[in-house]
């Protein structure tokens, strides 16, 4: 157990739908990062939150949004889903860069 | 913008041999950090080792060491005495806005 908790582990939904992925960072970590891993694009950084505020944006689509709540858990909202959004979505948290970024086990999203 | 290049899509290595996984990077930042992650078939991302751009010595963590050559912009991962459990995807990454990952190397350790 890495200490970063992601739910659900698997999600199957239809095109056009909206889903919410949840992440609880490791205790004491203020930063949360979201990544998407697909066969086409590899591992891509989506967005970072630090203590409730958006800190950095990567290749995140406009149909996707995220937020970090006062208890530091984060949610990634994916809307108007397309087949190409099928991927493994990771959340990661960190305290010190030298200690690396701790990843959750991921949410595997399948859009049918 | 940062970029990571991993030129070995796949590698087969005999158990107990040493393995070198190649990674070159490109960045305009004067200060940066380099990471290696392991992703076994189960899918989780496991942090292996970190190298800061101003670190004087190459990083080591158990059987993992990082051969950091700043002038060549390379950060190769060396795994000593490979084990069957080392079979996995290995990703090199650089820190900027989040981590920028390479496409990975699929390492297979053969008995």
pLDDT tens digits along B73-86: 999 999 999 999 99
Upper half-sphere CA count for residue A48 (Cβ side, 13 Å): 19
pLDDT of B4 > 80? The answer is yes
Radius of gyration of chain B, Cα coordinates, nearest whole angstrom: 13
Q: List the one residue out of B21, B4, B35, B33 whose CA is nearest residue B96.
A: B33
Query: Average pLDDT of A57-79?
Result: 96
Dist CA B61 CA B63 (whole Å): 6
With a pLDDT cut of 70, the percent of chain B lying above it is 100
Q: What are the tens digits of pLDDT across the range A75-94?
A: 999 999 999 999 999 999 98
pLDDT of A98 > 80? The answer is no
Q: List the one residue out of B21, B20, B30, B43 whose CA is nearest residue B93.
A: B21
> Chain B within 8 Å of A50 (Cβ-Cβ)?
no
CB-based contact B43 A100, cutoff 8 Å:
no
How many Cβ atoms sit within 10 Å of the Cβ of residue B106? 14
pLDDT of B62 > 90? The answer is yes
Query: Average pLDDT of B85-103?
Result: 94
Provide the number of CB pairs (under 8 Å) joining chain A to chain B.
59
pLDDT of B17 > 90? The answer is yes
Give me the phi and psi of B76, to 5 degrees please. -80, 140
Dist CA A20 CA B90 (whole Å): 29
- From chain A, pick out residues whose CB is under 8 angstroms from the CB of B45: 90, 92, 103, 106
Dist CA B19 CA A78 (whole Å): 40
pLDDT of A97 > 80? The answer is no
pLDDT band at residue B96 under the 50/70/90 scheme: confident
pLDDT band at residue A43 under the 50/70/90 scheme: very high
CB-based contact A43 B101, cutoff 8 Å:
yes
């Amino acid at each position: 157990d890495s200490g970063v908790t992601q739910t659900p582990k698997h999600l199957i939904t239809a095109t056009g739908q909206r889903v919410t992925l949840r992440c609880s960072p490791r205790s004491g970590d203020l930063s949360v990062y979201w990544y998407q891993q697909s066969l086409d694009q590899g591992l891509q950084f989506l967005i970072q939150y630090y203590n409730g505020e958006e800190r950095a944006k990567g290749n995140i689509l406009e149909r996707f949004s995220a937020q970090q709540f006062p208890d530091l858990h984060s949610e990634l909202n994916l809307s108007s889903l397309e087949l190409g959004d099928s991927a493994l979505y990771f959340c990661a948290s960190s305290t010190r860069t030298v200690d690396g970024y701790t990843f959750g086990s991921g949410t595997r999203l399948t859009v049918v | 913008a940062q970029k990571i290049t991993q030129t070995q899509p796949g590698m087969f290595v005999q158990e107990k041999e040493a393995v070198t996984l190649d990674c070159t990077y490109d960045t305009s930042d004067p200060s940066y950090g380099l990471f290696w992650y392991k992703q076994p078939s189960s899918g989780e991302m496991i942090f292996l080792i970190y190298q800061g751009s101003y670190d004087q010595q190459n990083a080591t963590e158990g059987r993992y060491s990082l051969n950091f050559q700043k002038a060549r912009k390379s950060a190769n991962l060396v795994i000593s005495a490979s084990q069957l459990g080392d079979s996995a995807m290995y990703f090199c990454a650089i820190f900027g806005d989040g981590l920028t990952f390479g496409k990975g190397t699929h390492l297979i350790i053969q008995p």
